Structure 1
């Protein structure tokens, strides 16, 4: 039986967007800035201990899973902002069925800054 997700569980707002180089008016240098395109409500899923043990030693160790209502605009090329931090989308488990309540599971990882 699939897990039942209640609308009240989707209580975190996440922003989707891209990173663009923007000129700093004071210095004239360019810096990368997150530019929001749209936002959705999300439910941060919790992993069981067994799932955490299975991820040890993989590149998915420091990831989190966010559940959103199905949205075809979400893809891996977008970045997202959650709890004030920027994340990369590593994988999308998308539900393309025509069900009334379909959800996408996003596996995301905190963006690592270079330098």
Structure 2
């Protein structure tokens, strides 16, 4: 049986989109900007302390798991804006079943900007 979450848990708004080169109307220069493609309500899932220890020294060490209602538009190439910061999707666990309440688990990590 699929896990059910209370609707009240989905209390964080996230934006998913891509980074595109956008022209500045005032200067004519191009700059890299986040372009939103969809907006969803998410539930930031907590990890148990044992799970946190198992993730030490892995790519998932400083990651967050966001649960959203299943959406076929989500892919791991999209960027996520959560709490005003940009994240990369490092793992996408998508539920493609025909269940009424299907959820996607997005494991995201804060993106590091190269200067």
TM-score band by shorter chain is over 0.9
Matches of 2:15 and 2:42, distance apart in 1: 10
Cα distance per residue 1:51-79 (max 9 Å; x no partner): 00000011110100000000000001111
Alignment of 1:31-50 (within 5 A): 31-50=31-50
Structure 1 residue 24, shift from structure 2 partner:
3.5
TM-score scaled by length of structure 2? 0.92
- For the residue of structure 1 that corresponds to 2:100, the secondary structure is coil
RMSD: 1.5
**Which of structure 1's runs of 4+ aligned residues deviate more than 6 A?**
none
Contact 2:89 2:107 in 1 (8 A): yes
Matches of 2:3 and 2:56, distance apart in 1: 25
- For the residue of structure 1 that corresponds to 2:50, the secondary structure is helix
Matches of 1:25 and 1:102, distance apart in 2: 42
Contact 2:2 2:101 in 1 (8 A): no
Instruction: Tell me the equivalent position of 1:19.
Output: 19
Unaligned runs of 5+ in 2: none
Cα distance per residue 1:18-59 (max 9 Å; x no partner): 101123345554321001111010000000000000000111
Unaligned runs of 5+ in 1: none
Instruction: Tell me the equivalent position of 2:5.
Output: 5
